[in-house]
Amino acid sequence: MSQVVEVIGKQFGRWLSAVGPEAGIVLSSRIRLARNLLNAVFAHKGSAEEQGTVVNVVKSAVERSAALHDMSFIDMTRLDPLETRFLMERYAISKEMATGTGERALMLNGDQTVSLMINEEDHVRIQSLQSGLMLQEAWRLANAVDDELGKRLDFAFSGIWGYLTACPTNMGTGLRASVMIHLPALIMTRRIASAVQGVSRVGCTVRGLHGEGTEMLGDFFQVSNQATLGQDEEELIANVERVSGELISQEKRAREVLLGENERQMHDRVGRALGILKGARILGLEETMSLLSALRLGVCLGLVSEYSVGRINELMIQVQPAHLTVRAGHDLDPLEIDSLRADIAQKSFSSR
């Protein structure tokens, strides 16, 4: 286990702690900025040497900035598949970064709220993650990192097109504002399809937890802006904020309806979820996420009082396969994975 991954592994990012606004419905807010160096070919076109140069140039720029002093450097080429998967389960790196090849690196600050991916799709992806609906704070942080780096790096920028990116869909601001949102009541009341359609009509997209092409687990969705140009950063962020606010309102109404019309059923759903989490000895990932989703809803509705949303957020990460394997300290077969997951659930909930 790489030393840096080990350090990160010991503590969850502050963004998981459910301290932000609307944390009962919004897991986290993220701002990502795509940047490329003026005098280097795009990452996927570069030779290993050219890619290595980009990594070194960016790393050095970060290290020379006093404001970015607490960022650790992780050379992705030195990680084994388990460590890579572990970082992805933490949302520290993207799926593309995890599955990619070539010289690439991650830089991450102490409380895991700011990270840089070097040579993911673009030379630099600046990312800030915050708890709850906190796009403004995430934007403030990402923007500050961008300004710091901009002092020492020449980013490819066109007066007409804005920031140039490896994929044209990121051109302009290079900004992706996204909100991870928990919508179990909209699913239970079968209003999710029309809610998602509404989102698409106003320039936003809805995806799975790890972005494009990933599955939705535990009733979580990722809402983000579709276009990255034609509007400035503040306008793009305001739109995602507005759309998220609308989804939050709809989810709240649905929760009220469920509690008002079917209180016993809601208690039943939450009680069964907790009963299975405590009693099962084998738990698959999908089922566990769905049980944790029901429990999270129950905690938010005040139907269960012994557990916190923050703890459930952390468990959603701890029950992922790479986290389980790291915890065991050796490779696990599928039954062992599901058994350890059940052991952790039992320990987490039984003693209360």
Residue type, 119: N
Chain residues 222-241 in contact with a second copy, contact rule CB under 8 A: none
Return d(Cα 333, Cα 34) in angstroms, integer: 38
Chain residues 248-307 in contact with a second copy, contact rule CB under 8 A: 264-265, 267-268, 271-282
Q: Which residues lie below 8 Å from residue 89, measured CB to CB, with a gap of 6+? A: 317, 320, 321, 322, 323
Give least dist CB 335 to a second copy, A: 7
Give least dist CB 334 to a second copy, A: 12
Nearer to a second copy, 277 or 344 (CB): 277
Return d(Cα 36, Cα 58) in angstroms, integer: 10
Residue type, 272: R
CB contact at 8 A, 96 and 213: no
Nearer to a second copy, 208 or 284 (CB): 284
For residue 294, which of 311, 312, 281 has the smallest C-alpha distance?
Answer: 312
Say if strands 105-108 and 124-131 run parallel, antiparallel, or are unpaired. unpaired
Return d(Cα 27, Cα 133) in angstroms, integer: 8
Nearer to a second copy, 80 or 268 (CB): 268
Give least dist CB 345 to a second copy, A: 10
Nearer to a second copy, 246 or 287 (CB): 287
Nearer to a second copy, 9 or 321 (CB): 321
Return d(Cα 124, Cα 144) in angstroms, integer: 14
Return d(Cα 69, Cα 62) in angstroms, integer: 8
Give least dist CB 337 to a second copy, A: 12
CB contact at 8 A, 346 and 274: no
Give least dist CB 21 to a second copy, A: 31
Nearer to a second copy, 209 or 274 (CB): 274
Chain residues 196-225 in contact with a second copy, contact rule CB under 8 A: none
CB contact at 8 A, 115 and 76: no
Give least dist CB 308 to a second copy, A: 19
- The region of 38-46, 81-89, 198-206, 334-342 touching a second copy under the rule CB under 8 A is 334-342
DSSP element (H, E) containing 118: strand 114-118
Give least dist CB 289 to a second copy, A: 17
Nearer to a second copy, 45 or 272 (CB): 272
Q: Among 54, 98, 107, 342, which residue interacts with a second copy (rule: CB under 8 A)? A: 342
Binding residue count for a second copy, defined by CB under 8 A: 19
Return d(Cα 305, Cα 299) in angstroms, integer: 6
SS3 209: coil
Nearer to a second copy, 166 or 294 (CB): 294
Q: Among 160, 333, 335, 351, which residue interacts with a second copy (rule: CB under 8 A)? A: 335
Q: Does 334 bind a second copy (CB under 8 A)?
A: no
Return d(Cα 125, Cα 136) in angstroms, integer: 18
Nearer to a second copy, 281 or 347 (CB): 281
Give least dist CB 185 to a second copy, A: 18
Q: Is the dihedral of CA 138, 142, 147, 148 positive or negative?
A: positive
Give least dist CB 280 to a second copy, A: 5
Return d(Cα 303, Cα 278) in angstroms, integer: 17
Residues that bind a second copy (CB under 8 A): 264-265, 267-268, 271-282, 335, 339, 342
